[in-house]
Structure 1
Amino acid sequence: MEEKAFNEQSLLHRILAYFNIVRQSQVLNNKICSEEPIRKETQSLGWTPPQEGWVKINTDGSVFAEDKAAAGGLIRDPLGRCLEAFAINLGSCSITRAELKAVEAGFSAAWRRGFRRVILCLDSTTAINIIQNVQDTDHRHGILALEINRLLSLNWEVSISHTYRECNFVADFLAKKGHSLHFGTHFVDSNDPGLRYWLLYDGFVPRTFCYL
């Protein structure tokens, strides 16, 4: 014992403590080994058309370095045809404001075109939460949220839903296109090569993803 004095009781306590540590480790190991393996769920994701009589709006926001922001979106019919597409250069603002500006522009375009059954899809849960819950102009996005809710209160049927980014590629393209345009809102021709490519991609390229 290296000429060190020791107490038998103290030594016994140490032995019991080490024994308990080993036993707990074995119990934990057995529990882990007995659990069922993690199962992965596979989903096929892509843009889905609205029902007959409805149109679907997809919108998105984009922010590059130094808070250079843009937004974009489009309206499609049940056949997947682009009825209107837009891209907006917003200057400097946050990604949340960009997402909300895209929603406002999408609703305004749909109402102006006379569509009265509209589904709006975006991939920002933050923006959806603001639209549904903010009713106060003291909120940093309050004025914009109130304007969107004013549009929602018009005489039409509208629903808002979250979508995965993998179902929002065309809107993402339009939002990024806004960075290359002058400040303000621009309508994008349906024959724009980039827009045509992503519309075809949405319609014909299946995407499969695995989720835990």
Structure 2
Amino acid sequence: MGRCEGAFTCNLGVCSITRAELKGATEGLHLAWREGYRKVELNLDSSTAINIIKAWKNSDHVHGLLATQIGTLLKRDWDVRINHIFRESNYFADFLANRGHSVNFGTHFLDVSDPNFCYWLNYDSMDITISSSRY
């Protein structure tokens, strides 16, 4: 609906894109549950992360801990739909990911009244494609 109900950013240090995507999914699901949402869309732009989540079996996998945490969250009494979306359709997520480079290590919950949130949410809701050099 183009409204931000909660936001976070993470500084994970040096890690793979897949690990960052899985960590974001974990934190996002925790936030949604904590805020009382029981119908959730988890939009990820990494098909690799989605495959790990949907076909999880091996706890010895390099992303085993995160995948297990996500699997545990998905078993709760709620409806979570996992969707693959293109990076160009999710500027708000990229904005938050880029913000993670400027904060201390760990997860940081953000003030949703930040005017930048509306700016990027509007691009996402209108399906506007712009150059990544804009942000």
Q: Confirm or deny: 8 A CA contact 2:56 2:67 kept in the other structure.
A: yes
The CA distance in 2 between the partners of 1:153 and 1:144, in whole Å, is 14
1:174-193 paired onto structure 2 within 5 Å? 174-193=96-115
Give 3-state SS (helix, strand or coil) of 1:187's partner.
Answer: strand
Segments of structure 1 that go 5 or more residues without pairing to the other structure are 1-78
The CA distance in 1 between the partners of 2:98 and 2:113, in whole Å, is 17
Segments of structure 2 that go 5 or more residues without pairing to the other structure are 131-135
Q: Confirm or deny: 8 A CA contact 2:2 2:118 kept in the other structure.
A: no
- In angstroms, what is the RMSD of aligned CA positions? 1.6
Q: Which AA in structure 2 matches 1:162?
A: H
Q: Flag the 1:205–1:126 CA change in 2: closer, same or farther, 3 A.
A: closer
Structure 1 equivalent of residue 117 of structure 2 = 195
The two structures have a TM-score, normalised by structure 1, of: 0.58
Structure 2 equivalent of residue 119 of structure 1 = 41
Q: Confirm or deny: 8 A CA contact 2:89 2:129 kept in the other structure.
A: no
- Matching of residue 142 in structure 1 with residue 51 in structure 2: no
Structure 2 equivalent of residue 133 of structure 1 = 55
- Single out whichever of 105-114 and 193-202 deviates more from structure 2: 193-202
Structure 2 equivalent of residue 84 of structure 1 = 6
Specify which structure has the higher proportion of helix: 2
- Higher Rg of the two aligned structures: 1
> Which fold has the larger relative contact order, with Cα–Cα distance below 8 Å and residues 6 or more apart in sequence?
2
Q: Which runs of 4+ in 1 moved over 3 A?
A: 203-208
The alignment covers a number of residue pairs equal to 130
